[in-house]
Structure 1
Amino acid sequence: MSQKMRAAVLYADWDPKPDFKLGAKDIEGRQTYLGSKVWRNPRVVIEERDIPKPGPGEVLIEVKACGICGSDVHMAQPDEQGYIWYPGLTGFPAVLGHEFSGVVVEAGPGAINKATNRPFKGGEEVCAEEMLWCGRCQPCADGYPNHCERLDEIGFNVDGAFAKYIVVPDRVVWSLEPLKERYQGMELFLAGSLVEPTSVAYNAVIQRGGGIKPGDNVVICGGGPVGLAACAILKRQGAARVILSEPEPARAELGLKMGADYVINPLKEDFVHRVLEITDGYGAKLYLEATGLPTVVYPQIEQVIWEARGLNATVVVVARADAKMPVTGEVLQVRRAQIVGAQGHSGEGTFPRVIQSMATGMNMLPLITKQITLDEVPENLVTLRTDRKECKITVRLDKE
């Protein structure tokens, strides 16, 4: 094995805004939980890196496929002052990429495959969680690893999978064996790379949103990969009407393939009127905010909740945004509604349930609308800032 590999690395300047205060979990000059307030002048370069070695309890994976996430785009996207858009945990320089699948090459001492409860042998097809939870802090002990007090994130503050190889702890590695009856060859790895973003949607609408009962209506705002994955999940759960709000025609059409029954173009139609019309005035049980534009989208959701005959609506906020939502408490009180936030995907059996759903017919492959090489990562990160015709652009590393 060559001792070097090529990787897409994001660099940025540590230049905190005047109102920024170093937090207890921040590291001066290296890491912050408030990325958009600190990092400036992001740039992505393809460079050579050392191939990592697995330590005790770790696994070396040869990456086959890795999707570009909206967070990758926003970490590499400067605003008018040069600060990155992404508001969360970040530590640069770091290799980007976290939606990946591949093959186990080598395992460190004590690294166990959950599929067999035995040490990894090598050659196993796997995917991995993006959130590296410690398992020892209070949130982890309480069953909330997404909110780990020592959280690291692949491709955010530790090196990610836009590279030929990656090392991860065995606790976040999941076997793709159940998918092999339905997918073969490269399709297996493309499907495997979609487990992570689909798990983000699953965590949002099932774990945090509480799911639905068969016959309930749902509204998904935003036809990106997470919003479209939510369409598939909720239709599979028995939603009577899955309503997708999405202005981009290509994504709207894809939404219908993924499980949406109706699509609203909020730029050309009255969102509130159409949701009430489609649901016979009852509104929806669950609303997903997956646009990242809460100041625009939430007031419309709130108006539907206020005017609808149905009670007990849940609004789940999954898109990351450095913005305050204009919430009217009276609407939540009178209509017995609630707002919940959703972060990440780990815990409560999310990954294995998504894998089993995909293995038994929930086909997520249509989300991938373009496949690229590692060299094309920087230009496609720029393209995705404004071009919404593509849904999921996936980097293939099988020929690197």
Structure 2
Amino acid sequence: MKAVQLNAQWDPKPDFKLGSKDIDKKLTYLGSKVWRHPKVEVVEKGKPEIGPEDVLVEVQACGICGSDVHMAQADKDGYIWYPGLTAFPAVLGHEFSGKVVKAGKKALNKRTNKPYEIGEPVCAEEMFWCGTCRPCCDGYPNHCEALQEIGFSIDGAYTKYVRVPAKYCWSLETLRKLYGDEKLFLAGSLVEPTSVAYNAVIERAGGIRPGDNVLILGGGPIGLAACAVLRRAGASHVIISEPSASRAELARKLGATETVDPTKEDMPGKVLEITGGMGAELILEATGLPTVVWPDVERVIWEGRTLNATVAIVARADAKIPLTGEVFQVRRANIVGSQGHSGHGTFPRVISAMAAGMDMTPMITKKISLDEVAENLKMLQTDRKECKITVTKFD
């Protein structure tokens, strides 16, 4: 079967030190400091074999994530942009849905608490946590000490069939009534990125009270998903700062009440005007450009009348944040980091919200085949007209 695989050279930067969980010449938690000269190619792979607790999923839809783009993107010295957990070569693709075509005898479906039946529509968590280390037992599987990530450190879903341990799978059957057979899988492929947004704004940032104001920086899929989640949670103003007109328009469709173009408008001033001088209780940093956006974040907090604002950082970036401690001390503001999407019932809650009408499928603006993945990964490095490009043809 065809698969889209990324390879790169292990060539650590001088300041890189092998961490306790890194594997020399194979796996690192600091990808942008190690992997050089990424190359994406279509290769032939054998159909995966499954164990008693696994399911074999025939992939029906798999979205391109910004992480995929940044793993395939090199800086001026040839190092990949993506700063996180990586082990190459690996088949890319982690935002996927499909149907179970084979199931191990101990592969239980959480929807029924019975063994999986053939044909069940599913999506899967991207983070494969062990369940026995201290972070997992403390309820923080996103920070598992034995973490593996599908499409990053183990083979992912830019291919026809993928093996997934059943404990990471979630049924999509409840989506069938609203979305129909075909759209069900498109919606299912958006559960993972929407869960990343949900984890950031609800779990890590602590959520909001109905009537609160929120500010989202960046109209990529995570920022757009946050618009939908926060509007559904009862935010009064859902303001998104995004220079792309097409993405700003999409944000409005998904729940944003106001949009600001930070390249043409005074973004903090506009936010204060919209909110009557209050600012925002929750700010989501989803741009990955901290040196660019952080001064504006601090202005919203400093000049706004809202105390106890929380800034949730969800975008991955190497650059350091230019932080002014005085702003956060005086305004009693908080910063939280957010990684991943697992735990605390995030996936089933997102699926439930989708089944109740939170339709994320407008994010999908282009459908492609496996053979078109490489060219679209390159295109997305410089062209942001498309929002979510999704693979729907796998032969």
Q: How does 1:139-218 map to 2 (within 5 A)?
A: 139-218=135-214
Q: CA deviation at 1:328?
A: 1.1
1:295 corresponds in structure 2 to 291
Residue of structure 2 in register with 1:316 after alignment? 312
Partner-residue secondary structure (3-state), 2:175? helix
- Residue 272 of structure 1 and its aligned partner are, at CA, apart by 1.3
CA distance in 1, matches of 2:338, 2:59: 28
Query: Equivalents in 1 of 2:280, 2:257: separation in Å?
Result: 14
Q: Which residue of 2 aligns with 1:24?
A: 20
Q: 73, 79, 82: which is aligned to 1:77? A: 73
Residue type of the partner of 2:25?
Answer: G
RMSD: 0.7
Secondary structure of the structure 1 residue equivalent to 2:4: strand
Shift in Å at residue 327 of structure 1? Answer: 1.0
**Aligned partner of 2:388: which letter?**
K
1:185, distance to aligned residue in structure 2 (A)? 2.1
Question: In structure 2, how many angstroms separate the alpha carbons of the residues matched to 1:282 and 1:8?
Answer: 48
Say whether residues 1:337 and 2:333 are aligned partners.
yes
Query: What is the distance in 2 between the residues matched to 1:327 and 1:148?
Result: 28
What is the CA distance between 1:326 and its match in structure 2?
A: 1.0
- Counterpart of 2:3 in structure 1 is 7
Deviation larger for 118-127 or 282-291: 118-127
Structure 2 residue 91 is matched with structure 1 residue 95: yes
CA-to-aligned-CA distance 1:332-363 (integer Å, 9 cap, x gap)? 11101000000000000000000000000101
| Aligned equivalent of 2:37 | 41
Q: 1:321, 1:330 → 2: CA distance?
A: 24
In the alignment, the residues of structure 2 paired with residue 8 and residue 284 of structure 1 have an alpha-carbon distance, to the nearest angstrom, of: 42
Measured in 1, the distance between the counterparts of 2:127 and 2:134 equals: 16
Give the match for residue 51 of structure 1: 47
Give percent identity, aligned residues only: 68
Cα distance in 2 between the residues matched to 1:310 and 1:20: 41
Count how many residue pairs are aligned between Structure 1 and Structure 2. Answer: 395
Give distance in 2, aligned partners of 1:113 and 1:145. Answer: 20
Partner SS state of residue 17, structure 1: coil
Moved over 6 A (4+): none
Aligned pairs for 1:195-344 within 5 A: 195-344=191-340
Which residue number corresponds to residue 104 of structure 2? 108
| TM-score normalized with structure 1 length | 0.98
Question: Helix, strand or coil for the counterpart of 1:183?
Answer: helix
Q: Secondary structure at the match of 1:59?
A: strand
Q: Show structure 1 runs of 5+ residues with no match.
A: none
CA distance in 2, matches of 1:107, 1:128: 15
Q: Which of 327, 350, 353 is the matching residue for 1:354?
A: 350
2:387 to 386, 391, 398: 391
Question: Please, what TM-score do these two structures have when normalized by structure 2?
Answer: 0.99
Alpha-carbon distance in structure 1 between the residues aligned to 2:238 and 2:304? 16
What are structure 2's unaligned runs of at least 5 residues?
Answer: none
The residue number in structure 1 matching 2:82 is 86
CA distance in 2, matches of 1:298, 1:210: 21
1:389 match: secondary structure: coil
1:131 to 2:127 alignment: yes
1:6-60 Cα distance to aligned partner (Å, 9 max, x none): 0000010000001111111111111000000000000100010011011121111
Q: Find the residue that maps to 2:180 and give its secondary structure.
A: coil
For 2:116, give the aligned amino acid: F
